[in-house]
């Protein structure tokens, strides 16, 4: 179904525009229902015949697993890496061949139990859980984690900026305001509900005007002084401290800039400039990080756990800074997210770079930021 074509001549204000949305939605739901019927017809064959770790025996698919006994074997808790995602996909192939079902994992991803019995052993819940348990085979993950991954991998394939047709459909929903519009839009557009929610809010409330910020010492001084005022903390206490959203909202107002952008500036740039008290050569730091990354079992870029790497650098850095400084270099390599990490690291280590120092800052007696040079160099192991 081509959304762009479907909605080309539709006018948002037209009273029938919502009908068009609902028809599309019904078509999708019919497809999902049909798929579910096929699964239900095979319920009798769906018996767990393989060894399951305790954390895959849970009866709850859509809630995080509560850990009641620490002595039991652990499951992984970091994000699902590429190898695991591939494993899930292999399991899906095995499943659809074994049970002879259409190759439509998206139907599993989209299925929500809105109207049927929520009893865990009600037929539709039973088969849904069985499919996910099947996909979880061989992984050190619980069913909730695998379910979430399936929802994202197969259910929301569309990424990137919203097209005007997508926005048109969102505006139609805003105008007619049907119940559960966000999840329905997510189904129709093949996007994450969280993204839709955010975008709808912006369409409704409007974005704060985007003005170009040129970060200067005086602007950063203004920012840091406001941050000190609103948190009521001395500067040293702000190191690695999580800052309440209410504070960010006040800053957004005073700085006239979206708070998420201010957060970005704080976490990626200013924090490290304020709290790292060494003479840092950026290129040396990057080389050190690449060598450390090599020692981890990461296979691709997205497997890297940046917080983990904080252990190997001087105090004061944020993992956002480390991620940013490494990505700057890595992204110029074609397909950097998916190529074998070894290859990417080799590229990173060999690529010549301009020598730059981390600009370090301190607050002077007039509460203004000034550049300060530290003499001590870090010792990388």
Residue 84: closest CA among 300, 330, 307: 300
Q: How far is CA 58 from CA 139, 150, 152, 319, in A?
A: 15, 17, 21, 34
Query: Is 64 or 102 the residue whose CB approaches DNA more closely?
Result: 64
| Contact status: 372 vs DNA (CB under 7 A) | no
Q: Which of 319, 241, 317 is nearest to 277 (CA)?
A: 317
Shortest reach from residue 372's CB to DNA, in Å: 21
Least distance to DNA from the beta carbon of 76, Å? 9
Per CB under 7 A, contacts with DNA among 175-194 are 180, 182-183, 191-194
**Could you tell me the smallest distance in angstroms from the CB atom of residue 323 to DNA?**
5
What would the two tokens of residue 74 be? 């652990």
Helix ranges restricted to H, 45-142 = 82-99, 105-110, 123-135
DSSP 44: G
> Which of these segments, 16-24, 91-99, 218-226, 329-337, binds DNA (CB under 7 A)?
329-337
301 makes contact with DNA (CB under 7 A): yes
Measured CA to CA, the distance from residue 330 to residue 301 in angstroms comes to 9
Query: Taking the alpha carbons of 317, 323, 329, 330 in that order, is the dihedral positive or negative?
Result: positive
Least distance in angstroms from the C-beta of 327 to DNA: 6
Q: From 106, 223, 56, 85, select the one nearest 149 (Cα to Cα).
A: 85
When asked if residue 97 is in the footprint of DNA (CB under 7 A), the reply is no
Q: How far is the CB of 223 from DNA (least distance, A)?
A: 12
Q: Which of 11, 117, 237, 367 binds DNA (CB under 7 A)?
A: 117
32-91 residues in contact with DNA (CB under 7 A) are 59-64, 77-80
CA 213 to CA 192: how far, in whole Å?
30
Identify which of residues 74 and 364 has a Cβ nearer to DNA in the complex.
74
Rg (CA), the chain: 25
- Helix H or strand E encompassing 309: helix 306-309
Q: Does 335 bind DNA (CB under 7 A)?
A: no
Which residue in the set 265, 347, 374, 380 belongs to the binding site for DNA (CB under 7 A)?
A: 265
CB 284 within 8 A of CB 312: no
Q: How far is CA 191 from CA 166, 186, 203, in A?
A: 10, 5, 16
How far from 252 is each of 217, 248, 256, 259, 262, CA to CA, in Å? 19, 6, 6, 5, 7
Residue from 8, 210, 241, 253 touching DNA (CB under 7 A): that is 210
Contact call for residue 165 and DNA (CB under 7 A): no
Q: Which is nearer to DNA, 120 or 138 (CB)?
A: 120
**Contact status, residue 312 vs residue 348, Cβ threshold 8 Å:** no
**Minimum CB separation from DNA for residue 217, in Å?**
14
Is 164 a residue that touches DNA (CB under 7 A)? Answer: no
Which of these segments, 20-28, 46-54, 209-217, 288-296, binds DNA (CB under 7 A)? 209-217
- Which residues sit at the interface with DNA, rule CB under 7 A? 59-64, 77-80, 112-114, 117-120, 122, 125, 145, 148-149, 152, 156, 158-162, 180, 182-183, 191-199, 202, 207, 210, 212-213, 215, 242, 245, 258, 260-261, 264-265, 267, 301-302, 305-307, 319-320, 323, 327-329, 331-332, 337
């Amino acid at each position: 179904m081509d959304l762009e074509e479907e909605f080309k001549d539709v006018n948002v204000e037209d009273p029938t525009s919502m009908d068009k949305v609902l028809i599309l939605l019904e078509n999708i739901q019919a497809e999902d229902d049909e798929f579910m019927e096929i699964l239900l017809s095979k319920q009798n064959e769906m018996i767990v015949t393989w060894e399951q770790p305790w954390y895959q025996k849970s009866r709850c698919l859509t809630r995080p697993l509560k850990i009641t006994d620490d002595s039991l074997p652990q499951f992984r808790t970091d994000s699902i890496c590429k190898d695991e995602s591939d494993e899930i996909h292999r399991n899906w192939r095995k499943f659809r061949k074994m049970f002879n079902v259409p190759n439509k994992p998206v139907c599993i991803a989209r299925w929500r139990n809105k109207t049927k019995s929520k009893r865990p052993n009600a037929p539709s819940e039973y088969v849904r859980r069985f499919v996910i348990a099947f996909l979880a085979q061989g992984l050190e993950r619980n069913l909730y984690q695998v379910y979430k991954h399936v929802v994202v991998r197969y259910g929301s394939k569309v990424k990137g900026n919203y097209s005007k047709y997508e926005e048109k459909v969102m505006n139609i929903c805003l105008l007619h305001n049907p119940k559960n519009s966000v999840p329905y839009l997510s189904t129709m557009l093949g996007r994450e509900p969280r993204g839709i929610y955010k975008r709808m809010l912006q369409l409704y409330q409007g974005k704060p005007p985007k003005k170009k910020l040129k970060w200067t010492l005086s602007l950063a001084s203004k920012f840091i002084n406001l941050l000190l005022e609103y948190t009521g903390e001395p500067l040293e206490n702000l190191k690695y401290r999580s800052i309440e959203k209410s504070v960010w909202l006040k800053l957004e107002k005073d700085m006239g800039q979206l708070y998420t952008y201010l957060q970005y500036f704080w976490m990626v740039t200013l924090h490290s400039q304020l709290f790292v008290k060494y003479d840092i050569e950026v290129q040396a730091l990057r080389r050190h990080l690449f060598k450390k990354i090599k020692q981890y079992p990461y296979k691709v870029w997205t497997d890297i756990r940046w917080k983990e790497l904080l252990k190997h650098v001087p105090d004061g850095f944020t993992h956002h800074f480390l991620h940013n400084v490494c990505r700057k270099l890595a992204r110029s390599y074609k397909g950097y997210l998916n190529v074998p990490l070894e290859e990417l690291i080799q590229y990173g280590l060999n690529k010549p770079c301009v020598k730059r120092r981390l600009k370090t800052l301190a607050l002077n007696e007039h509460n203004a930021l000034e550049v300060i040079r530290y003499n001590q160099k870090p010792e990388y192991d």
